[in-house]
A and B are shown apart, each in its own frame.
Chain A
Amino acid sequence: MSGIDDCLRQAMTIPGAIGASLVDYTTGFALGSAGAAPGDDPDGTATGTADIVHAAVSRSPFASTRPGDGVEDVIITTAGGYHLIRLLRTGFDSRLALYLWLDKDIGNLAVGRRRLQMLAEGLVAA
């Protein structure tokens, strides 16, 4: 029924998915979430996601090495998992990112990233 909830539900069907959320990185606030959050701390996850996006988008030169370039996603790998952050591009003013937490043993980074990308695109384009 709901576009956002539906998107997060589908994100949880990605192999190895432990948790997913939609984060407004202006303020580090989760507009929606599903599954678990690292450290059982959804708020901390949201603010952490926002911090990382800011670091990648506005505080480092990676985002604009050439014209038209821009951050697509940020991937953090840990010993036990993958943390994928996919920026959401809407036609109107927004600063949103999809966050996905994958189990490293079960999940596949490439598959997870691809699926997340499709979900992000599906959310904002018919």
Chain B
Amino acid sequence: MKAARAAKATLPRRALSQLVNAGETGALYVDGDPGGVIYLTEGQVTYAESAAAPGAGELLTTSGRLSAPTWDSAVSSGKDAHRVGRLLIEQGHLTEGELELCVLGVIYDAAYFVLQPAAVPVRFAAGEQHWFGPVCRVDADVLSKETTRRRRLLDEVFDSSTLDTAPVRPAPRPPVERVVLSALQYELLLAADGERTPATLARLLGRAGFVTLQQVRTLAAAGLIIAEPEHRPVEVSGDTEAPDTSASGGRVAGGVLRAAVPARVSAPARATATAVVDPPARPTIPEFPAKPVGLPVRPTAGPKKPSGVSDTEVTSSGTESIPPDSADLPVRAPATDDTIAIPVVRNDEPKPARKSTGGRRRAGNRTAAAIATENLPRRSPGEQMPDGAGDVETAPDGGPLRGDAPDEALLTRIRSALKALR
């Protein structure tokens, strides 16, 4: 009966569609991990099985829908005639609807694992039928399409196939204070012992294989379940990130989660996240002196509106509008508060420098590049300055006096420009 037709590596899906087009009847054996068998009747799928998907018997008995003896006797008396399913209906153990729903579920579930998108050795045993017997028929194209869709759904939950085959166990500590679980998730967490893979969990619990994968990934995305260390190096390094050597149990969580990326989660993940956040803020500090343009601007904005200043600083990085300000400011005496306020946010070092030296002097201290930028803008605003000059508050430093009025106008312009930028 098992006339092996082909044994070379092909995409299971392609092999299936060939057989379907030819209207074949028989069993398509697909190797690989987990692999499985798809049974065809006249070009339509009538059954499928895979090691990763519980079969009809497992679904019906683990759930308690059928007792094990009932199932066993139906199998023993019906398998030779390929009518185990029929027998269960005839004996009144199941309704037609139940049987169909069960078998349909099994077919789609197993097909997901059999029709993996990788070329594997396949062979076709013409004429071979599953002992369960035909219950319903599924169009192979619909089946293929649905498996593709399921694969995508799974990746949307949590894009890491590592967890599909690795032994899993609950994360030692939930990453959040309050955890809400579905019934299935609860079962999974209870049964995940660090040795069972999702496939074994599915069979143990009598839950569909795909649903188990889906829920394991959901739990992983929430930081509640992790892969056992032994498995990680292989898969993680293959897939993505720096291979965490499996050495430490505690690090496991971190490794898995890192692969997970979704920031939602675990304690380790959070720790790294905060660590990441800090550095970016600090590096900017040293840059301040380096950015001549940036410095002057802040003082300008700062004087009038200290509160707003900090914002502008952050957003502004030496843009065109800034140079003019820088030119004006140094001339006028910057209010000490302002100058202080800005640097304080970032760094303490600039502070003393500004206080001690007036705007002008500061300019002198600056790098040539800084001065150059200052000069350029200074001209035009500088000419207008004299109008209001002389009056108002002179800089404490005793720097040259400038009217406040022009500054005001400039400041408002700058502010609005900055606002627009924001």
If A24-B105, A122-B97, A126-B92 touch, whether A92 touches B149 (CB-CB below 8 Å) is no
Report how far A6 CA is from B136 CA in the complex, Å: 13
Instruction: Tell me the dominant secondary structure on chain B's binding face.
Output: helix
In the bound complex, residues from chain B placing their C-beta under 8 Å from that of A77 are none
On whether the beta carbons of B105 and A27 are closer than 8 Å, the reply is no
Q: How far is the CB of A91 from chain B (nearest CB, A)?
A: 3
Residues of A21-77 contacting chain B, CB below 8 A? 24, 26-27, 29, 31, 58
Within 8 A of A (CB), among B337-381: none
Give A89-108 interface residues, CB cut-off 8 Å to B.
90-96
Contacts A27-B150, A29-B108, A31-B104 known; A92 to B206 CB distance under 8 Å?
Answer: yes
Supposing A3-B95, A92-B65, A93-B63 touch, asked if A26 and B211 sit within 8 A by C-beta, the answer is yes
Shortest beta-carbon distance, A88 to chain B, in Å?
A: 8
Given A58-B182, A91-B64, answer yes or no on A29-B101 (Cβ-Cβ < 8 Å).
no
Q: Which of A2, A24, A91 contacts B96 (CB 8 A)?
A: A2
User: Do residues B97 and A91 form an inter-chain contact, with CB atoms below 8 A?
Assistant: no
Shortest Cβ distance from B196 into chain A, in angstroms?
17
Q: How large is the interface on A (under 10, 10 to 19, 20 to 34, 35 or more residues)?
A: 20 to 34
Are B97 and A124 in contact, with the CB atoms below 8 A?
yes
The listed residue with most A CB atoms (<10 A of its CB), out of B63, B64, B96, is B96
Asked if A4 is at the interface of the complex by the 8 Å CB criterion, the answer is yes
B227 at the interface (CB under 8 A from A): no
Q: Given the complex of chains A and B, what is the CA–CA distance between A88 and B108 in angstroms?
A: 18
Q: Which of A2, A94, A122 contacts B105 (CB 8 A)?
A: A94
Closest to A1 in B: B96
Fill in one digit per residue for B7-24: 1 if any A CB lies within 8 Å of its CB, else 0: 000000000000000000
**Known contacts A26-B214, A27-B149, A123-B97: A91-B108 contact under CB 8 Å:** no
Question: Which chain A residues lie closer than 8 Å to B64 at the CB level?
Answer: 91
Checking A58, A122, A124, A126 against B101 with a beta-carbon cut-off of 8 angstroms, the contacting residue is A124
Contact assessment for A29 and B149 in the assembled complex, using a CB-CB cutoff below 8 Å: yes
Asked if A110 is at the interface (CB within 8 A of a chain B CB), the reply is no
Given contacts A27-B149, A27-B150, A91-B65, contact A3 B210 (CB under 8 A): no
Contact between A92 and B210, CB atoms less than 8 A apart: no
What's the Cα separation between A126 and B105 when bound, in Å? 20
Q: Please, how many angstroms separate the alpha-carbon atoms of A103 and B172 in the complex?
A: 53
Chain B 68-111 near chain A by CB (<8 Å), digits 1 or 0: 00000000000000000000000010011111111011001000
By beta carbon, the residue of chain A nearest B138 is: A31
Asked if B100 and A27 sit within 8 Å, CB to CB, the answer is no
With a cutoff of 8 Å between Cβ atoms, the chain A residues found around residue B397 in the complex are none
Query: What would be 11 A-B contacts, judged by CB atoms less than 8 Å apart?
Result: A24-B105, A26-B211, A29-B146, A29-B149, A31-B101, A58-B182, A91-B60, A92-B60, A93-B63, A93-B208, A124-B95
List residues of A whose CB falls within 8 A of some B CB.
2-4, 6-7, 24, 26-27, 29, 31, 58, 88, 90-96, 122-126
